[in-house]
Chain A
Amino acid sequence: MYSARKYWILFMVLSLALSLAQAVAAQEKFPGKPVRMVITHAAGGSVDLPGRAMALYMQKYLKVPVMCENMLGGGGRKAMEYVFGDAKADGYTIVASAFPSRLIGEMVYESKYKMKEFIHLGSWVGGDYRTIFVAKNSPFKDFNQVMEESKKRKINVGGGGGLGSTSQLQIVYLKEVVKLNLNFVPFDSDAEVAAAVLGKHLDIGTGPLSGAIRVYKSGDTRILAVHSPKRIKEIPEIPTMKELGFDGVVIPYGVGAWAPPKTPKDRAKILSDAIMTASKDPEFIKWAEKSSTMLDPMGPEEFYKVTLEDYRNIEKVLPLLMKEK
């Protein structure tokens, strides 16, 4: 019908005009439209939840929504490579992920992204060091007993996460630096490792502090040691690997955000400030406490320094990691 067609044309012209107007408006003030936070791992996981929590609080200070998008693949590689090379560097796309795992991934896989070249916006989760734990009624009362036993037979050690993860780094450290005589049994997730340890199918298990603390507090496991520089506040009775005589096996773990290398500096600063302010937000801190997430916020400069330091440390063990490939 003739008149109906006129209305369709009018409708289409209007919507086109509206979207153009919005695009123009977005240029004027940053941020003028939603910011996209790409998350390297699956929804609900240990990388995703801190990412989403930060996104929620960030948007309070940015005054625009921060939309999270899970981009899975290659153990984080896909998302990192995308944000590094393919995404528009206009400040509207950032990536949140764990470190130093992405750094390890870059070096082991010789990937297309370079952590050194990303703009470091800041980190909020930190200090989630790796631990060694056993079942509650395991014959091993402390780590030295494990070392003793390993002289007689191979110790079955479980770990989650694949090549290029902090889990693998820990296993390499245990094998090569601590010289533990072990069989590495890889699992798909830290949860499965915990189940296998509790079921006494493994001698010892490895996992991040946040996970281990939970199962420890409920009384089902005992933590034997932590790969951290100092004793952990929540579990002051657990020794560090250093105290047990094993130096140089500190394995940090944190969650932070980066922006593509060519992002304009002024926009990057706005994003960094939002992250830093959000991490000091009392409600955010309350969330972290409730969820046993360890906070150790770092600003962009400090974060970048840590990355450079991690480069040096991992380069030292890189040949050992590559051996596993």
Chain B
Amino acid sequence: MQQDGARSLFEYPAESIFRGYWIPPPNVEPPMFPKKFKDPVFIFNGSLLIVFIWMNHLADRFSERAQKFPKFVLGIGILALTFWMVAYLIFPGLLKFIEAQAEKEEDSAGNRSRYYGAWLCIAGSILMGYLFGFIFVVPTAFLSYGLIPGEKKRWISLIALMLVMTACFYVGFYRILHIPVLKGVVLDID
């Protein structure tokens, strides 16, 4: 069999049927359909619209006085979002007109894996704090963030800072302010 790049356009459908899934030919532009749906703004607005509609439905169960304001606000939101969806999907020109004044934000190159690493760090710190007591947020935050691949780390000063901060927290919050920092779901030293 030839290499992928050298296949002729006719072999793809056959190959696809054989394998049971669609193999996109390399030089064909991906269809407009999925691309539009992958735009994060679209996903956000769409989900928000669904959430608003659902909340509007929930609001029907409130007492009459309590319903008024939320339904009013949700109504405006639903209208605005629907308008946006229609413009985005059907009349892109209209959307460009509305957002004409928006400046293009400079998109500085970000490193996605560092971003996910940051999330792991945040989630890990909260989890450790929850399980073992708030004081454990300090070492977890420093260590897990340091583990994210990146430029050369200064481990010694990092760990030193971490220990100093942990000690300060312990003294400051537990001894002086009497806020429990060693109290978690698993560990409970009071």
Q: A–B direct touch, CB within 8 Å, in complex?
A: yes
Which residues on A are within 8 Å of B, measured CB to CB?
19, 23, 34, 36, 65, 67, 69, 88
- Are A34 and B189 in contact, CB atoms less than 8 angstroms apart? no
Least CB separation from A92: chain B residue: B190
Residues of chain B within 8 A (CB-CB) of A34 are: 178
A205 to B70, CA, bound (A): 29
- Output the least CB separation between A186 and chain B (Å): 11
A158 to B179, CA, bound (A): 38
- Are A19 and B189 in contact, CB atoms less than 8 angstroms apart? yes
Residues of chain A within 8 A (CB-CB) of B178 are: 34, 36, 65, 67, 69
Residues of chain B within 8 A (CB-CB) of A69 are: 178-179
Least CB separation from B159: chain A residue: A8
- Output the least CB separation between A162 and chain B (Å): 13
Which residues on B are within 8 Å of A, measured CB to CB?
178-179, 189-190
Least CB separation from A20: chain B residue: B189
- Output the least CB separation between B82 and chain A (Å): 35
Least CB separation from A19: chain B residue: B189
- Output the least CB separation between A23 and chain B (Å): 8
Least CB separation from A88: chain B residue: B190
- Output the least CB separation between B63 and chain A (Å): 10
A116 to B189, CA, bound (A): 31
Residues of chain A within 8 A (CB-CB) of B179 are: 69
Q: For the A-B complex with A34-B178, A65-B178 known, give 7 more contacts whose Cβ atoms are closer than 8 Å.
A: A19-B189, A23-B189, A36-B178, A67-B178, A69-B178, A69-B179, A88-B190
- Output the least CB separation between A87 and chain B (Å): 11
A34 to B178, CA, bound (A): 9
A193 to B178, CA, bound (A): 36
- Output the least CB separation between B174 and chain A (Å): 10
Least CB separation from B170: chain A residue: A15
Residues of chain A within 8 A (CB-CB) of B190 are: 88
- Output the least CB separation between B59 and chain A (Å): 18
Q: Which 9 A-B residue pairs are closest in the complex by CB-CB distance?
A: A67-B178, A34-B178, A19-B189, A65-B178, A36-B178, A23-B189, A69-B178, A88-B190, A69-B179
- Output the least CB separation between A55 and chain B (Å): 12
The 9 listed contacts between A and B (C-beta, < 8 Å) are A19-B189, A23-B189, A34-B178, A36-B178, A65-B178, A67-B178, A69-B178, A69-B179, A88-B190
Least CB separation from A68: chain B residue: B178
- Output the least CB separation between B46 and chain A (Å): 35
Least CB separation from A325: chain B residue: B63
A23 to B190, CA, bound (A): 8
A260 to B76, CA, bound (A): 49
A67 to B190, CA, bound (A): 14
Least CB separation from A26: chain B residue: B190
Least CB separation from B178: chain A residue: A67
A19 to B190, CA, bound (A): 9
- Output the least CB separation between A239 and chain B (Å): 35
Least CB separation from B163: chain A residue: A8
Residues of chain A within 8 A (CB-CB) of B189 are: 19, 23
Q: Which of B178, B179, B189 has the most CB of A within 10 A?
A: B178
Least CB separation from A16: chain B residue: B189
A34 to B180, CA, bound (A): 12
Residues of chain B within 8 A (CB-CB) of A65 are: 178
Least CB separation from A66: chain B residue: B178
A34 to B179, CA, bound (A): 12
Q: Which of B178, B189, B190 has the most CB of A within 10 A?
A: B190
A88 to B189, CA, bound (A): 12
Residues of chain B within 8 A (CB-CB) of A36 are: 178
A201 to B178, CA, bound (A): 45
A88 to B178, CA, bound (A): 17
Residues of chain B within 8 A (CB-CB) of A23 are: 189
Least CB separation from B188: chain A residue: A88
- Output the least CB separation between B41 and chain A (Å): 36
- Output the least CB separation between B92 and chain A (Å): 47
- Output the least CB separation between A20 and chain B (Å): 9
A255 to B51, CA, bound (A): 44
A23 to B178, CA, bound (A): 15
A19 to B135, CA, bound (A): 15
A44 to B190, CA, bound (A): 27
Residues of chain B within 8 A (CB-CB) of A19 are: 189
- Output the least CB separation between A18 and chain B (Å): 12
A67 to B177, CA, bound (A): 8
A65 to B176, CA, bound (A): 11
